[in-house]
Amino acid sequence: MSALRLLAPDGSLSDAPLQDGAGYARPTAPLRSRVAYAAAHVVPKVHADNTPGRPADIDWDATLAFRRNVYSWGLGVADAMDTAQRNMGLDPAAVRELIARSAEVAREEGASVVVGVNTDHVDEQRIPLDRVIDAYKEQLHFTEEQGAGPVLMASRHVARAATDADDYRRVYREVLRSATVPVVLHWLGPAFDPELDGYFGASDWQTASSVLLDIIGEHPDKVAGVKMSLLNAESEISVRERLPEGVRMFTGDDFNYVGLIGGGDRGYSDALLGAFAAITPVASAAIQALDAGDPQRYLDILGPTEELSRQVFAAPTFYYKTGVAFLAWLNGHQPAFQMVGGLHSARSLPHLSRIVELANASLALEDPELARERWHGMLRLNGVDLGKDRA
């Protein structure tokens, strides 16, 4: 049996048996029991100047092929969001092109795409609320014109300009009034972006969630759902139970998604997850099990991936994009382990080694031999002596 060589934080090496591929099958019909989106990343050109501060130079063939692969597994794509390095290397021009191209691919595939709407095309750090509202509307209307579903992302400009909860209510009221299609509201916690601490006017989720629910309650016909990314299952369940009828909860909790999606007496969440971009075939197989009325099979398939996701999203959580791109490379979805803005350097080799170990254990390596070859080559390139018997 082939073995994976693993690198510990103290520099010691160990071996793990390489698991066979899971052999999950693509669905033959649309997924029914849950709505699920994989928040996709972008792939830069290998020869581009992928260094901090440089504009994104995207490999569109690889980037869009990744989205087509997600669609082939029955999942939707959530694009131009934090997984695609919004506010971490993806510049405004690249954002607009990504939205337009991704929406076109979704139309070609007859699939569903939602995309992030933010205010990040404005260069100034601080702008008044009127300009924040106008900036949101500009991106919102561009998204609507492309035919993609809008996800109204948490804005750093709002966080800087708002002085109280009423300021948040005002911004969202004005933007929602201008929406021509229902939007998903995104509550991104400070673990993902420290500048968003205190979003919706309070640092405690209980107070902030009341403001969020007030905003939804004013315009329930303009809100299709809420994506919560607080990494706190109880906060998500609490808000989920109080949503108006017809407004979905999309979990963005990459630590606790198995139970939140699986659900129970207190309902369930749909999914809009960066983790699902890293484990697309596994996520699809698990939802197919729910469609077949087999919740135990769902748990058996998806349960082991949660430890992998916790490693990918470990603190500092905002560097999780590195793990998503790393797994895409291991699984053959991009030619090199490169990221916009040099973000491929944001995690250590032992951290990546643990990702390899957990991906292998949870059957998230789509082509195990390819993953082994690429990982061992990366170790050698970094001066790790694997010995002659470690191909």
Asked whether the beta carbons of 284 and 334 are under 8 A apart, the reply is no
Which pLDDT score is estimated for 387? 82
Residue 155 has a pLDDT of 97
Comparing CA positions, the residue from 221, 225, 192, 226 lying closest to residue 208 is: 226
Specify the long-range contacts of residues 292-296, CB closer than 8 Å, at least 24 apart: 295/262
Separation of alpha carbons 243 and 266, rounded Å = 13
The residues near 55 (Cβ < 8 Å, ≥ 6 apart) are 91, 93, 94
Name the nearest CA neighbour of 266 among 241, 229, 292, 293: 241
pLDDT digits (tens, 9 = 90+) for 136-151: 999 999 999 999 999 9
pLDDT confidence of residue 388: 65
Strands 13-17 and 3-7: antiparallel
Q: Tokens representing 74?
A: 């029955």
pLDDT in tens, 43-92: 999 999 999 999 999 999 999 999 999 999 999 999 999 999 999 999 99
Return the pLDDT at 391: 52
Considering the entire predicted model, what is its pTM?
0.97
Give the pLDDT of residue 1: 64
269 contact partners, CB below 8 Å, separation of at least 6: 236, 240, 249, 250, 251, 257, 260, 261, 263
pLDDT reported for residue 225: 98
Query: Looking at the DSSP assignment, which residues form a beta bridge with residue 273?
Result: 38
Nearest to 359 by CA among 281, 288, 295: 281
Three-class secondary structure of residue 65 per DSSP: helix
Collapse the DSSP code of 248 into the 3-class scheme (helix H, G, I; strand E, B; otherwise coil) and give the result: strand
Other Cβ atoms closer than 10 A to 76:
22
Distance CA(33)–CA(321), nearest Å, equals 28
Q: What is the DSSP letter of 162?
A: -
Sequence-distant (≥ 6) Cβ neighbours of residue 391 within 8 angstroms: 372, 373, 376
Q: What is the pLDDT of residues 219-251, one digit of tens each?
A: 999 999 999 999 999 999 999 999 999 999 999
User: Which residues, other chains included, contact 267 with Cβ-Cβ below 8 Å and sequence gap of 6+?
Assistant: 237, 240, 241, 249
- E strand or H helix that includes residue 181: none
Which of the residues in the chain have pLDDT under 50?
Answer: none
The answer to whether the peptide bond before residue 316 is cis (omega within 30 degrees of 0) is: yes
